[in-house]
Structure 1
Amino acid sequence: MRILHTSDWHLGQHFMGRTRQAEHRAWCHWLVQTVQEQQADALIIAGDLFDTGTPPSYAREQYHDFILQMQASDCQLVILAGNHDSVAMLNESKNLLARLNTHVISAVTDNLDEQLVVLKQRDGQVGAIVCAVPYIRPRDVQRSRAGQSAEDKQSDLQQAIAAHYAQLFAKAEAIRTQQGIAVPIIGTGHLTTVGVSLTESVREIYVGTLTAFPTDAFPAFDYLALGHIHRPQKVAGLEHIRYSGSPIALSFDEAKQQKQLLVVDLNVAGLQAVTVLDIPCFQRLISLAGNLNELEQQFAELAEQLDQDAITWLEIQVQADDYYNDLEERVTALCAELPVEVLRVRRMRGTKVAGLTAEKGEILAELTPQEVFAKRLHEEELSAEQVSVLHGLHNQVLARLQEAE
């Protein structure tokens, strides 16, 4: 049984005002070809197919076009909802897509049978049973009780999620026994587990207040296909518990990651191998950091590396203490002749910010807003009149905030 594992497509994402439509189109085309080349029996998409609960029409069209293109491959699809996905929207076409060899699991339900998917190999024989668990919302598995502390709620939620997995696994084992088939059991999930490495594009939404689910609370799956974390990785160093990561870089701190598609081979003895396929880069992202002189040198070096036929998206982090009211114009001038588009210029404070509290060994929490503002103004070369105006504006803001409270 050969299964491909992917997640976190985020169709319809707008990245600093730019659409990812072309990248997603290229990704879907590459994936369809890869499914055929690998002769995969099934493809699991472990959540966050869309970037928002109300994706643009072109993203929905990409979703349906991909499923139609997959029909020629005889590959079964298992699509799980993530925290970005709308349960209602996925359910709109769920029954129709079931006719196209596609299983859409949008939410946890009371009927556990709806979350059990029996996958067949290309020869028609049963090859695996999937405990298809999407993103779990607390209300799906937990009933709140009066007087519970935050710690109690977190403990109860963890136990409820663990119980849900255990019940599904037990049902999968029962199916194996009833049908007399020795096939592997695969689990899925869209959540954060203990010890994973995050990126800035991973929204800080976990399972309710549960920040990380313990690895040892999962049943003994032969393979566990996880989504939500965009960096591909093994969990706790275990070969059979993996995040596939996102197929495209969803933030600049993912720009240097090699994106991956996971090829999972199983048989009656369980997991045989996990092979990593490198995903091509469909849109290059580069983040540069330094002062203006250093950036000028980096741009000179970058000119020799860039593809003249493709536009590279840039993030520029300017490390300087001096204030430039024309910073973006200065940066744009440095790369005017290069095939790049600057999407973000960030001004990174240097030693002056650290110096606000370092001189007297103070910490920020010990200072009042007025003291912090006064210290910061002291670092600038301003006239007495400018300082007075800024103090007045700062006091107005503080007064409004206090009124709002």
Structure 2
Amino acid sequence: MKIIHTADWHLGQSFHGQERHEEHRAFLDWLLDTLVRREADALLIAGDLFDVVNPSLRAQELLFHFIVTAHERLPDLDTVLIAGNHDSGARIDLPSPLLKRLKAHALGRVHFLADGHLDAERLLVPLSDGGGTTRAWCLALPFLRPAEVTGRGSLPSESDGQQTPSDGDGDRRYVQGIERVHRELIEAARARRRPDQALVAMSHAHLHGAAVSEASERPIVIGGEESIPASLFPADICYVALGHLHRAQRVGEDRIRYSGSPLALDFSEANYPHQVLEVTLAGEHLDAVESIPIPRPVAMHRIGPDTLEAVLTAIDTLPERTTTQRLDTGEGDSDDRNRWGWLEVAVRLEAPMPELRSRIDEALATKAVRLLRLRRDLPQRPEDTAPSGERLEDIGPRALFERTWQERWGAAAPEAVLSDFDRLRQSVVDNDGLDQATGNTHHDTRHPESSQ
């Protein structure tokens, strides 16, 4: 059977204040055609369907229109989608009874039984071939929030003989909770499978040794200790479809893969190879994995950091507009403008130059690009660096908090305090995404799902 693996769509993303609806629509149209052309039996979407926990109506419309159209064009297609750390698990779960009528299975959150063990049955999705025969089982594990796997309701009883980490060791409790959930799901899948049926795992997680993007990936749990080992996926799992990291890559073995994001989500990802993966199974074994490149509907350009003269020379090589009208006139073909490339410019200066923006705008007046970021690199001032020579912006909030605590109290911050700091910052990060979607300007440190 053939499976298409994709992840990290981030529908509704605001890119430096600009919406990317047309880019996402172009990708989804291409994906539909690819599913039909490749005669896919299943589609796996490994989390971060949306960019924020409260996505816009247009972003949700894109997803549901895609699912309906995919079912119309491929009635036998099994679609399995899980929530990522950018998604609201409750929002992904909500339409699941309706989506099942379209052979689409939406898993937003995990549930636990009264004894603390995982309710694994609801996370096991059968994948069928065109004749309706179950050829594989998908172990669909949505993103696990710390409260879901470290709360008392999710811990096994003491009679199981498992050692429970102390409350103060938040990072270790979280990672051990993730590992236990994976193990229990795999055990349930092994019990359910029949001879010649493959096991395919799908998870939204950060694996040890995987390469993280320069700027665009939000840490799953702030603190940096949330990665899990690839050894969690034993050899009888013939393929592991991962989401979260935007760089397409394998982790140690051919069978363990991040598909990567379909669009560059930051200028740091401009040169990534964007793809979906076609996974071919033969019985219970992996037969082949093929990368299918995704055409980029909108180009992404980075110029600099360099001198102003060099930057202006580089701008001169950018593609020309099909119309000479300026963006600020509001005239011309809006569809054409939606396909103009994104542009980041970095200029090295010896002194402030108030007229820099006007000079850049003048150079871009006839170019088919949209300037999103203009960075001025000025000589570094002493106050911009820490005594060690580090830049303050590179230290990071957690390390800065630890240093401040050390200086104030003369001792390292306790693990319990650091765990509280990580949870507080995580809630602020999550609510930043919520505010972007709703237009709110206040910051409430409660997570949108904290009451659930």
- Pairwise same-fold verdict (TM > 0.5): yes
Query: Which among 70, 75, 78 is matched to residue 77 of structure 2?
Result: 75
Cα deviation digits, residues 209-247 of structure 1 (max 9, x gap) = 6331121233331110000111111113x1011100111
Specify the SS of the correspondent of 1:99: helix
Alignment of 1:136-285 (within 5 A): 136-143=144-151, 148-149=167-168, 152-176=169-193, 180-199=194-213, 200-206=215-221, 210-220=225-235, 221-236=237-252, 238-285=253-300
- AA partner of residue 96 (structure 1): L
Using the TM superposition, give the Cα deviation of residue 356 of structure 1 relative to its aligned residue in structure 2, in angstroms: 7.5
Distance 2:93 2:231 in 1: 32
Shift in CA distance, 323/52, structure 1 to aligned 2, threshold 3 Å: same
User: Does 2:380 correspond to 1:363?
Assistant: no
Structural mapping, 1:46-65, within 5 Å: 46-65=46-65
Q: What is the match of residue 342 of structure 1?
A: 371
Write the letter of the residue equivalent to 2:177. A
Structure 1 counterpart of 2:127: 119
Contact 2:211 2:247 in 1 (8 A): yes
Residue 300 of structure 1 corresponds to which residue in structure 2?
316
The answer to whether the 8 Å contact 1:138/1:208 transfers is no
**Aligned letter for 1:139?**
A
- Contact in 2 for aligned 1:136/1:207 (Cα 8 Å): no
Partner of 1:25: 25
Give the whole-Å Cα distance in 1 for the aligned partners of 2:123 and 2:391.
Answer: 52
Maintained 8 Å contact 1:248/1:282: no
- Higher RCO, 1 vs 2 (CA within 8 Å, ≥6 residues apart): 2
Instruction: Using the TM superposition, give the Cα deviation of residue 147 of structure 1 relative to its aligned residue in structure 2, in angstroms.
Output: 5.9
Judge conservation of contact 2:318–2:368 (CA < 8 Å) in 1.
no
Cα distance in structure 2, aligned partners of 1:277 and 1:44: 15
AA in 2 matched with 1:322: A
3-state SS of 1:22 partner: helix
When structure 1 is superposed on structure 2, of 341-350 and 98-107 the one drifting more is 341-350
Change (3 A) 1:341 1:3: same
Provide the secondary structure at the position in 2 that maps to 1:64: helix
What SS is found at the alignment partner of 2:273? coil
- 1:160 deviates by 1.9
What is the CA distance between 1:157 and its match in structure 2? Answer: 2.3
Q: Which residue of 1 aligns with 2:421?
A: none
Tell me the alpha carbon deviations over residues 254-303 of structure 1, each in whole angstroms, 9 at most, x when there is no partner: 11222001000112241111000000001111111111011011122334
Segments of 5+ residues of structure 2 without an aligned counterpart are 113-118, 153-163, 324-335, 393-452
Aligned to 1:135: 143
**Partner secondary structure for residue 127 of structure 2:** strand
- Provide the aligned length of Structure 1 versus Structure 2: 356
How big is each residue's C-alpha offset from its partner over 1:58-91, in whole Å with a ceiling of 9 and x where there is no partner?
A: 1111111001101121211001000111122222
Partner of 1:36, secondary structure, is helix
Change (3 A) 1:129 1:120: same
Find the aligned partners of 2:322 and 2:209 in 1 and give their Cα distance.
Answer: 37
**Which residue is 2:43 aligned to?**
43
**How big is the shift at 1:348?**
2.1
Shift of 1:363: 2.6
Given that 2:199 and 2:284 are in contact with CA atoms closer than 8 Å, whether structure 1 keeps it comes out as: no
TM-score (norm 1): 0.82
Distance 1:100 1:365 in 2: 54
Q: Percent identity at matched positions?
A: 36
Equivalent residues of 1:183, 1:267 under 8 A apart: no
1:107 and 2:109 equivalent? Answer: yes
Q: CA deviation at 1:349?
A: 3.1
Measure, in 1, the Cα distance between the counterparts of 2:314 and 2:122: 55
Q: Is residue 360 of structure 2 the alignment partner of residue 331 of structure 1? A: yes
Contact 1:193–1:213 at 8 Å: present in 2 too? yes
Take 1:59 and 1:13, find their aligned partners in 2: how far apart are those partners?
A: 9
Structure possessing the higher radius of gyration over alpha carbons: 1
How far apart are the structure 2 equivalents of 1:15 and 1:324?
26
SS in 2 for 1:234: strand
- Partner in structure 1 of residue 422 of structure 2: none
Distance 2:359 2:222 in 1: 44
Contact kept? 1:83, 1:135, Cα under 8 Å: yes
Shift of 1:148: 4.0
Distance in 1, Cα, partners of 2:231 & 2:248: 20
Please tell me the root mean square deviation across aligned C-alpha atoms, in Å: 2.5
